[in-house]
Amino acid sequence: MIKKKIHRAIQSFNPLKQLMASGGLTFMFRIGGLGLNFLVIYIITHTYGDGVYGSYSLAFTLAQATGLLFALGFPNAIVSYLGLKSINHPFSQHMLKKGLKLLIPIALVPLVIYFFGSEFIAVHIFNDPAFTSYIAIAAITVPAMVLHEFVLYFFIGTGNFVKFNIFMFVVPNFILLALLFFIKNVPGHHTFLFYAISVYSVLAIELLFALKRHTKADIETVSLRQMVKFSSPMMFSGIMMYLLNWTDVFMLGAMTSSEELGHYNLAYKVASLGMLVIMSMNVVLAPRIAALFSEGNLHELHKTVKKTTHLIIVLTVPLVLGIILFSDFILTFFGKDFSGGHQALIIISVGFMLNAATGNVDQILNMTGNQKILQNLTIGGFVINVALNAALIPRYGINGSAMASLITNVLFNMVCVHYIKKKLGFYTFA
């Protein structure tokens, strides 16, 4: 029955075949990447313990959130600017090089802040002096994460989905696994140092594939002021969207033990399997939405969004139900202590399933000139999430944080659906 629905959804809209092909490729790469990522978690938890994994995950979340902030929204902006132009197109190379020149000096700012403020942040914010080393490593990691993210989205904007998938999911995980496997008997914070090495390595490799020689043709130029004005709402919405999903990690890091944080983070990563389909479709759908909107073809845009959302629902529901059914088995695979995240996993999974039902709402707003609306909605969602976490964590622990995440994400997605209807005239699922 499910197979027939998928086939009917694909056949009923021809352009969706192309989206499905690229999205399916990303889906397979993302599954492989998650498998490698879970192998990383397995090695860290079994070699160094769940406390080290809790610190590793907190440092990673902090570095990634900082990277999103200092990327200035350029990754999403370049997708909108390029609209599937060739990687060799003079304008594509112009935007890539202009973005890199701007981001390199900006990315050095968090390096200085975190490096010299590592002890203060560890002691006074996270109440964990041992976390100082992780923050110092995060300092040198953030610049590479900023540039890595920008180049990845450059590949999306130019339609190079295979390169995006390889450099996003395969190369960094293989490098990290190799370091974890061959280098033993080191302090726990070296696990995050290995991650830093993997990011710098993959950045060096992907730049060789992204940067091309091109003649200085008569191309449309974009000023720095125009780029910042266009991308700044995307920057705020991007960082707020990230914090919307990861506020619980930061607050649990400040309010609970590193062991509990490790249990929650693993539960969240397992639950995020339920977002595989929607995140995979996001990669290929964003440039398609940008292209259709720039052409003024709202009818085709609506058709694409509706069919994609239906497909996401059909594929996501059985996936999430499977995660819930086998949740205890999956968690205890990483260690018996991780069974404490069982209820949190179920709560988060339900929230992700409801998210999938609304479709790719954030990218629709971002790619249709409504990035300021998305910015305001994400700020509101962030405030609500912080308030709920502050109220529920002291009483319910990691389950309270999971409930806060569920409530916030459902509210956020429903409001996004309302604004898409108001601005574009259609619902994502109808």
For 333-363, the DSSP string reads HT-GGGGGGHHHHHHHHHHHHHHHHH-SHHH
Among 429, 289, 255, which Cα is nearest to 359's? 429
Q: Name the pTM for this structure.
A: 0.73
With beta carbons less than 8 A apart as the criterion, state whether 79 and 99 touch. no
Q: Where are the domains positioned within the chain?
A: 2-424
Is 90 exceeded by the pLDDT of residue 120?
Answer: yes
Rounded to an integer, what distance in angstroms lies between the CA atom of residue 391 and that of residue 394? 7
Higher pLDDT pick, 85 / 194: 194
pLDDT of 17: 60
Range 373-400 average pLDDT: 92
The pLDDT mean for the chain works out to: 87
**Tokens (6 digits) for 154:** 């450059």
Q: Which of 36-45, 282-291, 294-303, 307-316 is the least confident region?
A: 282-291
C-alpha to C-alpha distance for 73 and 150, rounded to whole angstroms: 9
- pLDDT band of 20, cuts 50, 70, 90: low
CA distances from 168 to 30, 34, 162, 185 (A): 9, 11, 10, 28
**397-403 average pLDDT score:** 93
Where does the pLDDT of residue 22 fall: very low under 50, low under 70, confident under 90, or very high at 90 and above? low
Residue-level pLDDT at 109: 95
Q: What is the pLDDT of residues 129-175, one digit of tens each?
A: 999 999 999 999 999 999 999 999 999 989 898 999 999 999 999 99
Of residues 235 and 58, more confidently modeled: 58
